[in-house]
A and B are shown apart, each in its own frame.
Chain A
Amino acid sequence: MTTDSHGVRLTLRGATLGRAGVPVLDGVDLDVVPGEILTVVGPSGCGKSTLLRTLAGLLPVLGGEVSQDGVPVTAPRAERALVFQDDALLPWRTVRANVELPLAIRKVARAERRERAEQWLARVGLTEHTAKLPHRLSGGQRQRVQLARALAAGPRAVLMDEPFGALDAQTRAGMQQLLVDVLRGTGATVVFVTHDVDEALFLGDRVALLSTGRVLPVPRPRERAAHADPATVALRREVLESLTPSPSFS
Chain B
Amino acid sequence: MSRPWSLVRRALSLVAALGLWQALTSYDINLWLRFEQLPTVTEVARAYADRVSGDAYWQDLTDSLTRIVTGFTLAAVLGVTVGTAVARSRFAADLLGPVLEVLRPVPAIALVPVAILLFPSNEQGIVFITCTAAFFPVMVSTRHAVRALTPVWEEAVLTMGGGRWRILWSVVLPGALPGILGGLSVGIGVSWICVISAEMISGEYGVGYRTWQDYTVVDYPGVFVGMATIGLLGWLTSTAVELLGRRLTRWLPRTENRPAAPARRGPAPAATAVPPVRTAPQERVRS
Contacts and interface: CB of A to CB of B under 8 A. Distances in A.
Interface residues of A, number: 38
B268 A171 contact: yes
Given A58-B155, A133-B251, A102 B273 contact: no
Contacts of B264: 138
A168 B268 contact: yes
A58 B161 CA distance: 11
A203 interface: no
A91 B266 contact: no
Interface string A92-105: 11000000011001
B interface, by DSSP: helix, strand, loop or mixed?
loop
A79 B276 CA distance: 27
B14 interface: no
B152 A106 contact: no
Contact of B157 (A101, A142, A168): A101
Nearest to B249: A92
B231 interface: no
Interface in B91-119: none
A87 B275 contact: yes
B19 interface: no
A138 B272 contact: yes
A interface, by DSSP: helix, strand, loop or mixed?
loop
B34 interface: no
Nearest to B162: A105
Contacts of B252: 91
Interface in A133-162: 133-135, 138-142, 153
Contacts of A90: 153, 156, 170-171, 174-175
Interface string B165-204: 0100011001101000000000000000000000000000
B286 A135 contact: no
B265 interface: yes
Nearest to B268: A168
Contacts of A81: 159-160
A228 interface: no
Contacts of A76: 155, 158-159, 161
Contacts of B265: 138
Interface in B247-287: 249, 251-253, 264-277, 282, 285-287
Contacts of A56: 159
Contacts of A102: 160-161
A86 interface: yes
Given A133-B251, A139-B271, A168-B269, A78 B161 contact: yes
Nearest to A81: B159
A166 B160 contact: no
A81 B160 CA distance: 6
B159 A135 contact: no
A168 B271 contact: yes
B274 A101 contact: no
A113 B285 CA distance: 33
Given A142-B273, A166-B273, A105 B285 contact: no
Interface of B: 152-153, 155-162, 166, 170-171, 174-175, 177, 249, 251-253, 264-277, 282, 285-287
16 contacts: A87-B273, A88-B156, A90-B153, A90-B170, A92-B174, A93-B251, A105-B166, A106-B161, A135-B253, A138-B272, A140-B266, A166-B287, A167-B271, A168-B270, A168-B271, A171-B271
Given A89-B156, A135-B275, 7 more contacts: A79-B161, A82-B156, A138-B264, A138-B272, A170-B266, A170-B267, A171-B271
